[in-house]
């Protein structure tokens, strides 16, 4: 299981309309684990659910973690409770940083960064790291209105290059500054990598445009914050067979495969429980999964050799898992 850390809320500010910023500092002299751009933490909201938040600032002289929290009107209790109840001086429990959205390591690679809304948090950190390492990149930041977009002023600072490198696109702005995805993405090449984070519709548009331009999946990198609701009214029971023992576990129609495994005594790592983070990914030895996650690529789904038990189910009556 991931290491849990105790941190103190050192500051709380408003980064934009409905976006709160939290600075989390260590409680002890031991500091906090290092991280790279694209990393996120699990945050245990007091008397509420666990949520994942991207780290938006690289560590400085005084190591701390900074997260941005969007007040989501459809929140299941995480963001609203955090913004309303958690104050400076409070102690929170978090995980050590994990990174499923890391920058490609090639020093000469060119990165194209796309951020939509609150998706700016990991993308800002990526821009910081690329600028610090003097690696070429271009960034496009999209939002509905400037008042709801965090870090716009900061992105105009010299450390991020000039206006030819960082572009801000606002839905209620002039037509000339709105995003043209095709021209911004451009033709693929072996040294170009695309990174996108934001609302599902925005991300799907960017990724589909890139595919239509000939980009391959190995050069497309994404991080979803949340999955869209799935109609589960037609879900049926299925069975899981444990590959190492042959034990059969029944998954009821109103139950996730992950919770069936947990109820049966398996120590399955869980985090987002929406098929977004990849924490619970499990190898499939036999059977066909019903993929409902946002983590696997189309090619990985087609291979049917892994699935996310937190959200995905089975198209066959039984799945044999490598457990």
Locate CATH 3.10.20.30 in the chain.
238-321
Q: What is the share, in percent, of the chain residues with pLDDT greater than 70? A: 95
In this predicted model, what pLDDT tens digit does every residue of 147-160 receive, in sequence order? 999 999 999 886 77
- Provide the token pair at 127: 């821009």
What are the residue ranges of CATH 3.40.50.80 in the chain?
Answer: 110-224
CATH superfamily name and code, 4-95: Translation factors (2.40.30.10)
Distances (CA, A) of 196 to 120, 132, 188, 221, 249: 9, 20, 15, 6, 38
Share of the chain above pLDDT 90, in %: 69
pLDDT at res. 295: 85
Identify the CATH assignment for 238-321 out of 1.10.600.10, 3.10.20.30, 3.40.50.720, 3.60.10.10: 3.10.20.30
What's 98's DSSP letter? B
In CATH, 110-224 is 1.10.287.3510: no
Average pLDDT value over all residues in the chain: 91
Both structure tokens of 61: 């002289």
How far apart (Å, rounded) are the C-alpha atoms in residues 125 and 58?
A: 6
**Cα gap 143→165, rounded to integer Å:** 18
* Beta strand extents in the chain (DSSP E only): 4-16, 19-26, 40-44, 50-54, 65-70, 91-95, 110-116, 137-143, 166-170, 192-198, 220-224, 238-242, 248-251, 282-286, 289-290, 306-307, 313-314, 318-321
Is it the case that residue 249 has pLDDT exceeding 60?
yes
Residues 32-54, mean pLDDT to the nearest whole number: 89
- Give the highest mean pLDDT range of 11-15, 27-31, 81-85: 11-15
Q: Which residue has the higher pLDDT, 32 or 175?
A: 32
Q: Is 233 exposed, middle or buried (0-12, 13-18, 19+ CB in 10 A)?
A: exposed
> Residue holding tokens 């189309």?
298
Residue 260 is predicted with a pLDDT of 96
For tokens 């993405």, the residue is 185
Buried/exposed 166-204: b ≥16 CB within 10 Å, e otherwise: bbbbbeeeeeeeebebeebbeebeeebbbbbbbbeebbe
Question: What is the pLDDT at residue 296?
Answer: 86
Model confidence over 117-142: pLDDT tens digits? 999 999 999 999 999 999 999 999 99
Mean pLDDT of 57-72: 87
Above 90 in pLDDT, residue 54?
yes
pLDDT in tens, 267-322: 888 877 888 888 899 999 999 999 999 888 888 999 999 999 999 999 999 999 99
What average pLDDT does the segment 94-102 reach? 91
Q: Contact, 24 vs 44, CB < 8 A?
A: no
pLDDT(112) > 60: yes
Please state whether beta strands 137-143 and 166-170 pair in parallel, antiparallel, or not at all (unpaired). parallel
- Paired with 141 in beta bridges are 115, 168
Q: Residue 134 pairs with which residues in a beta bridge?
A: none
For the entire predicted model, the pTM comes to: 0.81
From-to residues of CATH 2.40.30.10 in the chain: 4-95
- At 218, is the secondary structure helix, strand, or coil? helix
How do residues 157-212 score in pLDDT, each as one tens digit? 867 766 669 999 999 888 888 999 999 999 999 999 999 999 989 999 999 999 99
Distance between CA atoms of residues 117 and 148, nearest Å: 8
Q: Is the pLDDT of residue 222 over 80?
A: yes
């Amino acid at each position: 299981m991931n290491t849990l850390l105790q941190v103190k809320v050192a500051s709380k500010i408003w980064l934009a309309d409905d976006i709160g910023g939290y600075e989390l500092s260590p409680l002890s002299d031991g500091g906090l684990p290092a991280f790279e751009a694209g990393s996120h933490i699990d945050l245990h909201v007091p008397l509420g659910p666990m949520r994942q938040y991207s780290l938006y600032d690289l560590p400085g002289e005084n190591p701390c973690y900074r997260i941005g929290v969007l007040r989501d009107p459809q929140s299941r209790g995480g963001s609203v409770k955090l913004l309303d109840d958690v104050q400076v001086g409070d102690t929170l429990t978090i995980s050590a940083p994990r990174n499923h959205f890391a920058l490609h390591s090639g020093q000469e690679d060119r990165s194209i960064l796309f951020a939509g809304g609150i998706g700016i948090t990991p993308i800002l950190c990526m821009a910081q790291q690329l600028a610090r390492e003097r690696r070429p990149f271009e960034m496009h930041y999209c939002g509905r209105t400037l008042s709801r977009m965090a870090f716009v002023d900061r992105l105009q600072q010299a450390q991020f290059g000039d206006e030819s490198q960082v572009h801000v696109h606002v839905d209620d702005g002039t037509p000339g500054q709105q995003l043209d995805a095709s021209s911004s993405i451009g033709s693929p090449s072996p040294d170009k990598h695309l990174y996108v984070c934001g609302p599902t519709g925005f991300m799907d548009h960017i990724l589909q445009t890139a595919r239509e331009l000939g980009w391959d999946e190995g050069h497309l990198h994404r991080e979803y914050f949340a999955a869209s609701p799935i109609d589960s009214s037609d879900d049926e029971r299925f069975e899981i067979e444990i590959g190492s023992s042959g034990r059969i576990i029944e998954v009821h129609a109103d139950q996730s495969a992950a919770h069936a495994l947990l109820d049966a005594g398996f120590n399955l790592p869980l985090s987002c429980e929406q098929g977004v983070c990849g924490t619970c990914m499990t190898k499939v030895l036999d059977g066909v999964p019903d993929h409902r996650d946002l983590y696997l690529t189309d090619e990985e789904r087609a291979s049917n050799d892994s699935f996310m038990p937190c959200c995905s189910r089975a198209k066959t009556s039984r799945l044999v898992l490598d457990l």
